[in-house]
């Protein structure tokens, strides 16, 4: 991981809002990292922090010996383990300033550091980048291209889980906006065959991650690229690695973090791995990326694979793809697309009795989810107009064969995650 000057490490002793707290301090242009209390002292010191903030919610039991481990580092410490201070951002910022932080961590400075870091890491070698057309990978493509130009080859893989017309749209946008090497690979059958019959979401993510690496390895061999660029962002890492040291504490393994094979031969280039989603968007705007890329709704790397609950079959995947396209079309037509962070359809592998074309039907369920967020750490449900939801429902039931019922997900994050899997 890249080191950032003037780093403050937040040590999590059991604080539910620690990510939100970290974001609040970052908003004051002070760089923060979150680490579990189980982290080895040596790992903390690798980041060369100028201070530590120990965080815990009220009533959280003190971890025997853990506090002493951090006190032994002889760094300034702000102790918030009593659970009374995580809402006091001003006090935390004052502590950071006392530790020598000057509020100089800006996205402009980040770009300069990231470009220099990429050049230092890669040298004259080549990089192959997994491009999805989403915000994260697009910003990474722009950053790496700014750093090393034609040494970068972007590989856009159609894994059969993309949205309707996505392969054509992504290729057209990049051809129009970027002068960079772009290789398109249709590996739909390859991925879908591997996923056939797999219901467990963690297994799905790992299969997709492993297959991605193999496809990239084949593409990289053709251009002799030892480096793999990825659009990994900070929430991916935080959700994939247990903050309390307990493997059961993993929220979900992102295909580009916990889903990567251990014997991977690539060296990773992940220039935005320490940024939250809104920070990535700021970088994209500073790099001059068009709104059609920067302001697109976030789309997970495993794509519709984590919006299709249960085993993926080609016919049910088609239902989801068509339903999702209807949701996006109607959201855009009603002027709500840019009022929401994400709005999408989910395939639910449950059949219910209904009436279609005047006859009894026994078909599947589609769920609609619409949320607003700043950084994907927490999310609030959007109260879409009832008339808009009715229009979506009527079109889905009428136009998508095999679906006779539509429901609306009203769960915030937490307790739910944004994606269903």
Residue labelled with tokens 């619409």:
370
Burial call 392-410: b when 16+ CB within 10 Å, e when fewer: bbebbbeebebbbbbeebe
Residue labelled with tokens 């996923």:
195
CATH among 3.30.70.100, 3.40.50.2000, 3.40.50.620, 3.40.50.970 for 107-294: 3.40.50.620
Closest CA to 327 of 373, 281, 289, 382: 382
In degrees and rounded to multiples of 5, residue 68 shows phi and psi of -65, -35
- Each domain of the chain, given as residue ranges in start order, spans 7-98, 107-294, 313-408
79 annotated to a ligand binding site: no
Mean pLDDT per 10-residue segment, the chain (421 residues): 77 87 92 92 94 90 86 94 74 94 93 96 94 89 95 94 92 86 94 96 92 85 89 80 49 46 79 91 93 87 93 97 98 97 97 93 98 87 98 98 98 94 92
132 annotated to a ligand binding site: yes
Question: Would you state the structure tokens that stand for residue 3, as one six-digit string?
Answer: 């080191």
Question: Are residues 403 and 356 in contact, defined by beta-carbon separation less than 8 angstroms?
Answer: no
The CATH code belonging to domain 313-408 is 3.30.300.10
How far is it, in rounded angstroms, from Cα 334 to Cα 397?
A: 19
Question: Are residues 188 and 166 in contact, defined by beta-carbon separation less than 8 angstroms?
Answer: no
Q: How is domain 7-98 classified at the CATH fold level?
A: Rossmann fold (3.40.50)
Question: Are residues 276 and 234 in contact, defined by beta-carbon separation less than 8 angstroms?
Answer: yes
324 annotated to a ligand binding site: no
Identical fold for domains 107-294 and 313-408, yes or no, is no
Question: Would you state the structure tokens that stand for residue 321, as one six-digit string?
Answer: 């793809």
At 368 the pLDDT is: 98
Which residues fall within 8 angstroms of residue 390, CB to CB, at 6 or more apart? none
Q: How far apart are the first and last CA of the chain?
A: 27
Question: Are residues 135 and 277 in contact, defined by beta-carbon separation less than 8 angstroms?
Answer: yes
At 3 the pLDDT is: 58
Number of other CB atoms surrounding residue 257 within 10 Å: 23
Question: Would you state the structure tokens that stand for residue 412, as one six-digit string?
Answer: 């915030």
pTM of the model as a whole? 0.79
136 annotated to a ligand binding site: yes
137 annotated to a ligand binding site: yes
How far is it, in rounded angstroms, from Cα 271 to Cα 16?
A: 27
Helix (H) or strand (E) holding 391: helix 386-399
């Amino acid at each position: 991981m890249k080191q950032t000057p003037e780093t403050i490490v937040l040590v999590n002793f059991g604080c539910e809002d620690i990510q939100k707290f970290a974001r609040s301090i970052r908003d004051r242009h002070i760089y923060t990292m979150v680490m579990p209390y189980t982290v080895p002292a040596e790992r903390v010191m690798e980041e060369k922090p100028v201070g530590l903030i120990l965080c815990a919610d009220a009533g959280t039991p003190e971890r025997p010996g853990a506090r002493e481990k951090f006190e032994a580092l002889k760094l300034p410490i702000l102790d918030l383990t009593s659970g009374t201070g995580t809402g006091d951002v001003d006090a935390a910022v004052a502590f950071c300033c006392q530790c020598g932080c000057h509020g100089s961590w800006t996205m402009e400075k980040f770009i300069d550091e990231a470009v220099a870091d990429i050049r230092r890491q890669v040298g004259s070698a080549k990089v192959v980048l997994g491009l999805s057309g989403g915000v994260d990978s697009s910003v990474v493509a722009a950053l790496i291209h700014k750093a090393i130009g034609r040494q970068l080859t972007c590989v856009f893989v159609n894994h059969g889980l993309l949205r309707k017309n996505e392969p054509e749209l992504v290729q057209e946008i990049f051809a129009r906006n970027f002068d960079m090497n772009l290789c398109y690979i249709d590996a739909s059958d390859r991925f879908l065959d591997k996923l056939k019959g797999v219901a467990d979401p963690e297994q799905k993510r790992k299969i997709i991650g492993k297959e991605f690496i193999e496809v990239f390895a084949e593409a990289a061999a053709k251009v002799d690229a030892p480096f793999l660029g990825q659009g990994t962002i900070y929430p991916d890492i935080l959700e994939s690695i247990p903050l309390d040291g307990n493997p059961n504490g993993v929220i979900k393994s992102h295909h580009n973090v916990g889903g990567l094979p251990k014997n991977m031969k690539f060296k990773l280039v992940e220039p935005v791995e320490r940024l939250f989603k809104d920070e990535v968007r700021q970088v994209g705007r500073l790099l001059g990326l068009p709104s059609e890329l920067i302001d697109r709704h976030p789309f997970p790397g495993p794509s519709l694979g984590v919006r299709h609950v249960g085993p993926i079959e080609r016919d049910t995947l088609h239902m989801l793809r068509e339903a999702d396209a209807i949701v996006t079309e109607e959201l855009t037509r009603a002027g709500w697309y840019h009022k929401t962070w994400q709005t999408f359809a989910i395939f639910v592998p449950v059949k219910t009795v209904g009436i279609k074309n005047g006859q009894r039907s026994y078909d599947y369920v589609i769920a609609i989810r619409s949320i607003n967020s700043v950084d994907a750490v927490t999310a609030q449900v959007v109260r879409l107009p009832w008339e808009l939801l009715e229009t979506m429902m009527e079109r889905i039931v009428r136009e998508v064969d095999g679906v006779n019922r539509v429901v609306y997900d009203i769960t915030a994050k937490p307790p739910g995650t944004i994606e269903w899997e």
